[in-house]
Amino acid sequence: MTSRTPVSASAASPTVGTRLAVADDLLGLLRTTTTEPRPDEQLEALTLAVAADLPVLLWGEPGIGKTAALTQLADSLGLPLTTVIASVHEPSDFSGLPIVGDDPEVRGVPMAPPQWAVELVRAGRGLLFLDELSTATPAVQAALLRVVLERRVGALRLPPGVRIVAAANPRASAADGWELSPPLANRFVHLYWVHDREVVVRGLGGVWPRAELPRLDPERLPEAVALARRAVCGFLKARPTMIHRLPTTETRRGGAWPSPRSWETALTLLAFGTAASVSREVLALLVRGAVGDGPGLELLAHLDRMDLPDPESLLADPASAALPERGDLRQAALEAVVAAVGARPERERWEAGWAVLVRALETGAPDLLVAPATTLAALRRDDWELPESVERLAGVIGLARRADRSVGRATAPAAGAGRAAGARR
């Protein structure tokens, strides 16, 4: 009978180290993802601001993916990522720690920079990520002013290859949060980070959108700078009260608001956006992130008006008039034509105005013609005969007016019933 040597339980089962190695393999598979080129407006806005070398502040609720977006951005751009959590640092970590050396009365007392700043200078390039900015104390925020604006940390100046991006949670969501100080807030481009369902689902499946620097057209650079300067300067000449407007509430002071500094930022973003041919949506995110929602939208509206065709050119050649396709811009162009006729009312110009409206009827929606046609008709002098083109417009305008009256009659009983019900209550 053959005897068997008993095998211990520890020898028969994998060692703890082996089990951890298998666990690491599984974690490696879970963390292995790829990227793909995919339209993402907020990511495109972020990369354009980074390319423009402007400090960016990402606002978003905890867990929304701000840190992951920055990590992926650094990987895509090939930049080493340096993360500094502002709330766990002292002011001296940004302004420098005084070091007394030999003969301080002659040599002075140098401000020694922290290790992370020294490593960034040695690398010559990188992405400095200031995380949890809204939990930094006012003293730390004050020390960060020079880092963000002048790129100085103690006695060191960060090289041009270093870009600065910060992240913050709204005060209500931040642990022991502080409102951002107005001087620090006014140095950032504020982008509000939200999750996109499709991006999250596809990303959890292993494929995230790829962050790519904007492709600037070298031939458009002078044109882009000229357009940006003309737009911002023209807008501020028309709205001088918008040059500097400090918000009245503490919360709004911690966001984007207009100042000469932030208008310079908006001008830079407008030039970069034009040279890169970004979409209107991306440009709106950037401009509003620099000077605030209200001023930013007004600047974009001013920019649209700059692109409107010259009304005198339209009156000179109505048959080939090229009108904007977007409804609001088309309406503005037609109103400008009617205003030009009213400024110098002559029979030939009045008839040319009707010809422009006919051209608009041939190339776009007829409902936009009611208001300008009514105004143009009111400019008629007694000895001016109606041109034949008016007959082509009469049916369309009359139909639109009848539709408006029908809608009014349909909504009036409902409104009356609502008021009666409210009275009974």
pLDDT tens string 385-394? 888 777 777 7
In a domain, 3, yes or no: no
Residue 159 tokens read as 């090289």
In the 8-state DSSP scheme, what is residue 88? G
Q: Which residues on adjacent β-strands are paired with residue 191?
A: 58
Which long-range contacts does 152-155 make (Cβ < 8 Å, 24+ apart)? Answer: 153/94, 153/95, 153/96, 153/113, 153/114, 153/117, 154/95, 154/96, 154/97, 154/110, 154/111, 154/112, 154/113, 154/114, 154/117, 155/96, 155/110, 155/111, 155/112, 155/113
Same-domain pairing of 324 and 350: yes
Same-domain pairing of 354 and 240: no
Domain that holds residue 187: 36-97+111-209
Domain count, the chain: 3
What is the reported pLDDT for 158? 92
- Residuewise pLDDT in 10s, the chain (425 residues): 455 555 454 554 568 778 899 999 999 999 888 888 888 899 999 999 999 999 999 998 888 888 888 888 888 888 999 999 988 888 888 887 767 666 556 556 667 788 889 999 999 999 999 998 888 888 999 989 989 988 988 888 999 999 999 999 886 665 567 888 999 999 999 999 888 888 889 888 988 888 888 899 999 999 999 999 999 999 999 899 999 999 998 889 999 999 999 999 999 999 999 999 999 999 999 999 999 999 999 999 889 888 788 889 899 998 888 888 888 888 888 988 999 999 999 999 999 999 999 888 888 877 788 888 888 888 888 888 888 777 777 766 654 444 444 434 444 544 454 454 444 44
Same-domain pairing of 190 and 268: no
Query: What is the three-class DSSP state of 259?
Result: coil
Same-domain pairing of 265 and 290: yes
Same-domain pairing of 155 and 80: yes
In a domain, 379, yes or no: yes
Same-domain pairing of 196 and 75: yes
What is the reported pLDDT for 174? 57
In a domain, 40, yes or no: yes
Same-domain pairing of 342 and 239: no
Same-domain pairing of 329 and 281: no
Same-domain pairing of 70 and 184: yes
Same-domain pairing of 190 and 61: yes
Same-domain pairing of 57 and 190: yes
Same-domain pairing of 301 and 253: yes
> pLDDT for 38-79, tens place per residue?
888 999 999 999 999 999 999 988 888 888 888 888 888 889
> pLDDT for 230-277, tens place per residue?
999 999 998 999 999 999 988 899 999 999 999 999 999 999 999 999
In a domain, 179, yes or no: yes
